[in-house]
Amino acid sequence: MPELPEVEAVCGAAHRALQGRRIVSAHVLRRRICAPQSPAQLNRAVAGRRFQAVERRGKNILVHLEGVTVWIHLRMTGTLYAVASPPLCPPSASAYFVLDDGRALVFDDSRGLGVLRAATREGVAGLLGPIGLDALSPDFTSERFIALAGSTRAAMKNFLMDQRRVAGLGNIYAAEALHRAGIDPRRPALQVSRMRLVRLHAAIVRLLEEATDSARRAYRRPGGFSEGEWFRAAVYGREGLPCPRCRRPIRRTLQGGRSTYFCPGCQH
């Protein structure tokens, strides 16, 4: 699933494709992605509108047009990119927007789980639902992070992945941040000391800055790392391999139905 760094890279690609452009028409190829809106309603909402800006909130993408916003969530396999003309859209496309220069902005989603809806600026909050502090926002301070951690009995990994508390972190970067900070992902958040939470906060911010820089350069697909990316995971997806810090074998466990990778030697 695309996480904050990958979604940031996708936002950059969408901004470059849409800058100075007007939407001619919207074409939904998988009707369920815009439900309960109909494809015709989506098209009427955006057709003829000029692009203004792209905004990311956690893992959500907001494409602001004149008088309307398009909310996009990439889910498991979604991505956005431009093609030279609509006939070049791949079979895995869920939707595409025809631009006034003849190109198309494609919402490519092989599993078809993504969502796409038009809303007024006031209606965006209702679509997003409860969403926490963005992990790269200036408001995401160590003090606010400590307060959030101190208010839950959830395991550290589950706490970090709760988008109502910290927005943008997913399975990969939550595991990597906990490894950098030396914290066992199974430890209840309430039991982690203030000093270690400060260290974890710094690790999250630094990790996401590094991964975002890498993703902007080379991101191509959801759920993994492309060959051009220089960011490499220390624990994620490396079960049984030696920890780069202490050389103990990396372990995998399940938390909330998701795989968690950690080092039993470094993380306690």
| Cα angle value 22/216/119 (rounded, 5°) | 40
Query: Rounded CA gap, 215 and 213, in Å?
Result: 6
Q: Is position 86 annotated as part of the catalytic site?
A: no
Given 3, 6, 8, 229, the catalytic residue: 3
Q: Is position 122 annotated as part of the catalytic site?
A: no
Given 30, 59, 117, 238, the catalytic residue: 59
Backbone φ and ψ for 155, nearest 5 degrees, come out as -60, 150
Query: Rounded CA gap, 244 and 180, in Å?
Result: 11
Residue 170: name the closest of 207, 117, 115 by CA: 207
Query: Rounded CA gap, 165 and 147, in Å?
Result: 10
| 164 Cβ contact list (under 8 Å, min separation 6) | 130, 131, 132
Q: Is position 5 annotated as part of the catalytic site?
A: no
* Number of other residues whose CB lies within 10 A of the CB of residue 23: 24
Q: Is position 2 annotated as part of the catalytic site?
A: yes
- What SS3 state is found at 246? coil
Residues annotated as part of the active site: 2-3, 59, 258
